[in-house]
């Protein structure tokens, strides 16, 4: 029984550790000191200038999460780099 248990623990540790390493790398890329962040107002103005109707801006996982309505009327949820305002990812919501 011990022969099967040890490899199972090692495999679980390898896969579990890999998942943690990937998450840590993502967070390290966004490890921006708070004094380097754009303000919520600056993020809102940037997206408003691009034609979005910004409804809410929140901090999520070391970045900004912008909830807005696009020009075409679709609601979007956009993850934004806190220092550059660059869109890191988005998710359109269906009505």
Q: Which of 64, 58, 57 is nearest to 30 (CA)?
A: 64
Instruction: Read off the pTM.
Output: 0.65
Extents of the domains making up the chain? 1-31, 34-95
Assigned fold of 34-95: Nuclear Transport Factor 2; Chain: A, (3.10.450)
Q: What is the DSSP letter of 41?
A: H
Write down the pLDDT at residue 45: 98
Express each pLDDT in 28-83 by its tens digit: 457 899 999 999 999 999 999 999 999 999 998 899 999 999 999 999 999 999 99
Write down the pLDDT at residue 21: 35
φ, ψ (nearest 5 deg) of residue 90: -145, 165
């Amino acid at each position: 029984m011990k022969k099967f248990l040890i490899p199972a623990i090692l495999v679980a540790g390898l896969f579990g550790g890999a998942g943690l390493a990937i998450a840590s790398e993502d967070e390290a890329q966004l490890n921006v000191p708070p004094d380097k962040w754009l303000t919520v107002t600056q993020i809102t103005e940037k997206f408003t200038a691009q034609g979005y109707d910004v409804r809410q801006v929140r901090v999520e996982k070391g970045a900004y999460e912008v909830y807005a309505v696009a020009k075409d009327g679709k609601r979007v949820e956009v993850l934004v780099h806190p220092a550059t305002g660059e869109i890191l990812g988005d998710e359109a919501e269906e009505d």
